[in-house]
Structures are given as C-alpha cells and as structure tokens.
Structure 1
Amino acid sequence: MRQHCALKHGIVKEFLAEFLGTFVLVLFGCGSVAQTVLSRNTLGEPLTVHIGFSVGLMMAAYVAGGVSGGHVNPAVSLAMVILGKLKIWKFPFYVIAQFLGAFAGAAAVFGLYYDAFMDFTSGILSVTGINATGHIFASYPARHLSVLGGFIDQVVGTGMLVLCILAIIDGGNIGAPKGVEPLAIGLIIMAIGVSMGLNCGYPLNPARDLGPRLFTAVAGWGMEVFSTADYWWWIPVAGPMVGGFVAAIIYYLLIELHHKRPDDPEKPHEEEDEEEDEDDEDSSLKDKYEMIAMS
C-alpha cells in the first residue's frame, strides 16, 4: 500500500513538473512571437524570437529537469522510452502534461496581450491576411514548402534536437557539467532556429504546436487553424515523433552502444598494468634504499 502511494505521488510530481515546464516554454516562446508581431516588428525581430524559444526551453529544463527530466516534448519522451530512460507506462502521463502545459501557456500569452490582440486585429482573429495572428501560437508553412518537404524538415530538425540532447545528458560521452545542461540544450534551439527556421519556424514539438493550435481553435480563430495550408497541422505532430524515434536509434547504434562497459575485458589488463607499475615503483624505491644503506 505504501509503495503504491509512493508510486502515485511520484508520477503526480513528474506530471506537474512537465506541465509547468511546458507552460514556461510556450509562455516565453510564443510570448516573444506575440511581442514581435503585435508591435509590427518595432519591439522584436527573428533573432528575438530565437532567443525567446531558446531561453524558454532552457528555463523549462531548469524548472522541471530535477523532477521529471524536463522533456517538455513528446518526441524527447519517446526517445527516452526507446533508450530505456523512461518507463513506457509513464509516457502517456508525460504527453498529456505537456499538451496541457502548452495549452495553458498559449492561454497565458493571449491573456497577457489581449488588448494588443484586439487593437492589432480590430477584434477579427484570423490565420491568413495582413493582420493574421494565428502563427503567433502555431506553425504554418512558407509558400514554397511542400507537404513532403515540411515532413522532412520536421524529422531532420527534431532529430537534431533529440540527438544533441542525448549527447548532452550522456554520462559516457563528454556531456555537460552538472547544472549547465539546460543552457546547452537551449543553445541547440538557437542553432536550429538560425539554420532551419525558414520553412515553417521549427516547431519540433507536437505539444508545443498542437496545444496552442487547439487553444486558438476555441479562442476565436476557429477551425481554420486546422484546415489552412491543406491541413498542415498534422505535420508538426507526426514529423517530430518520427524524428525523435530515428535520432534515438542512431545515437544508440553509433555512440551509446560503443561506450566501455564496467565488465569491459580491457579493464583487467589496465588494472594489471597499474599493479605492475606499482611493483616497479616499490622495487625502485627498495633499490634506492639499499644503495643509500651500502654507502
């Protein structure tokens, strides 16, 4: 009974941590887009948006990292399940918490800038047009982007995100100093933003994209948020999950699988060499002592 209560308490803590972490990510990230768009680029630009999402992810990792690992992304959670770093039964709880946190973060941004939204749009919330604001909360493709191109974009972008995260937290690799991991993870988003943001704004996170998109659907933008661009909405949901899965497999096969294990056969030889060196040092000291004694 006590063990069951402890288990229940543990998953609740992790659920709340993932919720709050994702809330922080979306508040800072979408908030930076809102400030840029609603000020008509007078108080923001693409670089400030990159900074907003980078720092948002970094702060989200600091908020939730010590409790749940700070995944704040279903694609990251899936990669952790594949590598055995997260129990599979916890996966649905993490995903639900992440979606709810993203939804709440979008609602907070809308509430914070409600008056600015009404002034900018004259009360007409739309996804397309000169006063479009739907892209503040969710991703939409550039005109040149095809469905296949968008899917590949999300697979590659999320794959790089997950691959680099795995490297940062890998104790068998160089890794990052304890407590600095969130900073390094935030820099990954900065790198992706400045190199892979042209096509659709690098959502890379099903919860971060679909959660706010659902909010806009019920907050006044309507079902246009799903039908726009030939029903684009599913690509930033499915693409990142495929990218996270592929990245986990690649990292395991090319890096983690080749780490030296505690039972590595080379280790006894190394220990024997160390013992021989110690014996040589002892004999050398003994010889020196005898030489001094004879003199």
Structure 2
Amino acid sequence: MRNSYYGELIAEFAGTMILILFGCGVVAQVVTTPDGSLGGHDAIAWSWGFGVTFGVFVAGRISGAHLNPAVTVALAAYQGFPWRKVLPYSLAQTAGAFVAALLVRANYADLLAKYDPGHTVKSQFVFSTLPGNGAEGISIGTAFLDQVIGTAILVFVIFALVNARNNPPLANLAPVAIGFLVVAIGMAFGANAGYAINPARDFGPRLASFITGYSTAWVDQHGQLYFWLPIVAPIIGGLVGGGLFQLLINRNLPADEETPTPVGRDIPQ
C-alpha cells in the first residue's frame, strides 16, 4: 500500500528539484556566457517560469505542488492546510532545491571555474540571490520590501488561480498560468533582490554553493549576513498576499450554487 504522506513529501522534493534545475541552470548558462549568445534576463525569467510549470505538473496530483515554504505557510494560515505538514513540506522542498543545485553546480563546474576561478560574488547569484543581483546601490531594506511585495503578488494570484469558486483556468492549465505569473514577477520585480520569492529556492542552492566552494554564500556583496532575508521576507509576503486575497476576493465570491457561468461559455438552453 502506498504511503500517501511520504508520497506527498517525495512529490514536493521532485517538483522543487525540477524547478531549480531549470532556474539555477539558466542562470548558470547566462552568467558563464556573458557575450549574450545564450540569452539574458528574458531567458532567465522564462526558464524560471517553465521550471515552475513543469514542477507543478510533476507534483500537483500528489501534493498540490506548493514547491515553496511561503506558499505552504499561507495555505496553512488561510486555506486549511494542516500545520503539522508545514515543516515536513518545507524541508522536502529545500532538499529538492539543494539536490538540484548540486547537479547544476557539477554540470557547470568547468564554466564556473573559467568565469570565476575564486568562486566569488561574481557568480554566487547563480545559486542564491543578492541585493541588486550583486550590483551596488540596493539597501537591505529595499531588498526586504521587494521580497515581501513579490511574494505577496505570487500568493495572491495563486490563490485566485486555484480557487474553484473564482473561475480558475480549465483543462489543467493552472500550472501554465502559475508559470506565466512567475515570468511576470521576474520581469517586473527582478532588479532589487533577484525575485527569490521562495525560501527553499534560495536556501537550498545557497547551502549547495557553500559546501562546493562559495565561502561567502551566507553574506551579500558587502559582507552583511543576508541568507535570512530570502527566508523571512517571502514568508511575510506570502501571509500578506494570502490575507489580502481573503479580505478582497474570497469573502466576496459567490457560493458554489451561485457561481456565475464563466465568460465565453454557452449557457445551456
């Protein structure tokens, strides 16, 4: 007999691993080919979105495909997800991100060594986020606010997309819509802090980079302790986004029997 609970954790591990393979993989490719021949920011935004879509397709049937502790916490706070599963889900997601980052690190070892022999901040953001993506001029406060806003948008729209009373995408297109959502966040909110919007996405690869030669993985380009920010700010942002959805949308949705006919659908005669 299948153990459904452990199956959920395995699904979260696998789905998050797929997400990070595409996400960190594309950043490694773009960073180590600075001539731009293999893409730029648009390639990064699209590949992260595709990674989310494929990860949700992998895990959705079994675990719901949270793939993000901020989403898991928000679902527990507002949508009835069991609190006892929050920590195990989060650990499974982080483990999947960690393993995926190790695979990317091994796959791009030669190019990373050629581009950045000292394994410094120059290529550190292949795996983990930094204020301004390693550039100057972005404060910790700005980066924190950026992560709160970006994750609030993420959770707010995810709640809208998966709510059965809110005319959600049909024909199993919710994963595609969520992928587009991540692309849009990356294109609109990617400059200040690299749009981690996911504690597992940042901490797992950050740990993987640390044990494979990036001695400054826990700090930003100025030497300030930074690893905590992409953990704390997204969780706060997820709670803000989920709370706003409950306040602004969910309580105003019609009951199931009052749900209006979706736009574009013929009304039976």
Fold similarity call, TM over 0.5: yes
Query: SS in structure 2 opposite 1:97?
Result: helix
Separation (CA, whole Å) in 1 of partners of 2:197 and 2:256: 36
TM-score with structure 2 length normalisation?
0.90
1:131-280 aligned at under 5 Å gives the runs: 132-142=122-132, 143-222=136-215, 224-228=216-220, 229=222, 230-261=224-255
The answer on 1:35 being equivalent to 2:25 is no
Distance 1:118 1:262, change over 3 A: closer
Q: Secondary structure at the match of 2:227?
A: helix
In 2: Cα distance, 1:145 partner to 1:126 partner: 19
* Structure with larger RCO (C-alpha < 8 A, sep 6+): 2
Q: Which structure would you say has the larger Rg?
A: 1
Contact kept, 8 Å, 2:165 with 2:253, in 1: the verdict is: yes
Rounded Cα–Cα distance in structure 1 between residues aligned with 2:255 and 2:178: 26
Identity of aligned residues (%): 34
Gapped regions of structure 1 (runs ≥ 5)? 265-295
Give the structure with the larger helix fraction.
Answer: 1
Aligned residues: 252
Native 8 Å contact 2:165 2:256 kept in 1: no
**2:98 is the alignment partner of 1:103:** yes
What RMSD, in angstroms, separates the aligned Cα atoms of the two structures?
1.5
Shift of 1:226: 1.2
**Aligned twin of 1:16:** 10
Structure 1 residue 79, shift from structure 2 partner? 1.0
Contact 2:15–2:59 under 8 Å retained in 1: yes
Q: Which stretch has the larger CA shift, 48-57 or 224-233?
A: 224-233
Aligned-partner Cα distance in 2 for 1:166–1:84 = 9
Please identify, of 156-165 and 191-200, the stretch whose mean Cα deviation from structure 2 is larger. Answer: 191-200
Residue 119 of structure 1: how far off its partner (Å): 2.3
Contact 2:131 2:138 in 1 (8 A): yes
Query: C-alpha distance in 2, partners of 1:263/1:121?
Result: 60
The corresponding residue for 1:25 is 19
1:218-242 deviation line (CA, Å, top 9, x unaligned):
11111x1112242122111100000
CA distance 1:211–1:81, shift in 2 (3 Å): same
Is the 1:20–1:63 contact (alpha carbons within 8 Å) kept by the matching residues of 2? yes
Tell me how far apart the structure 2 counterparts of residues 262 and 170 of structure 1 sit (CA, whole Å).
11
TM score, norm. by length of structure 1: 0.82
Which consecutive unaligned segments of at least 5 residues does structure 2 have? 259-269
- Would you say the 8 A contact 1:11–1:90 is kept in 2? no
Cα deviation for residue 178 of structure 1 reads 3.4
Q: 1:262 to 1:72 in 2, by over 3 A?
A: closer
